[in-house]
Amino acid sequence: MTDQMTVTEEETLDELGPVDWIVVEFPGSRFDGTIAPTLTDLVDRGIIRVLDLLMIRKDEDGEFEAFEISDLDDSEIGRIRELETAMANLLSQEDVQSVAEAVEPGSTAALLVWENLWAAPFGSAVRHAGGQLVASGRIPVQALIAAVEADLEEEE
């Protein structure tokens, strides 16, 4: 039984896709759950799996409160509550503290950790071929927009 369980865990880890995280801030604490349908659509289509999601509210004095999905009202989160049972609760108190320090006073932020399911088969194939990830990165959308706008200005 133990050997079989180990094989199952190894198979599950072998199929794990890349895991990313983001923090999105809503100045003036204007979070109303309108992003929930887009997030649940990504989950429903098997593109991502939400591993953890935490909301952080920071008052004007810099004091903050962190909320798990179960602590929030349905009007704030929409169908995201349905994802809660699959979450791994990966975030530590230190993670929350670090994110809270980056959030502007008077704002609400969402800290999202997800697995990229679409990339899992490729990652598994790379590992089976003896390869390993040696570098990774992300180009912020704002940087892409700025580059495109600069190119357009040069063309004019």
Q: What is the mean pLDDT of residues 136-153?
A: 89
CA angle 91, 93, 95 (to 5 degrees): 55
**pLDDT digits over 71-87, tens only?**
666 655 556 666 655 55
For residue 33, give the DSSP letter: S
Confidence of residue 122 (pLDDT cuts 50, 70, 90): very high
Contact present, 55 and 27 (Cβ < 8 Å) = no
Q: pTM for the full model?
A: 0.74
**pLDDT digits over 15-65, tens only?**
788 889 999 998 887 777 778 888 889 989 999 988 888 889 999 999 999
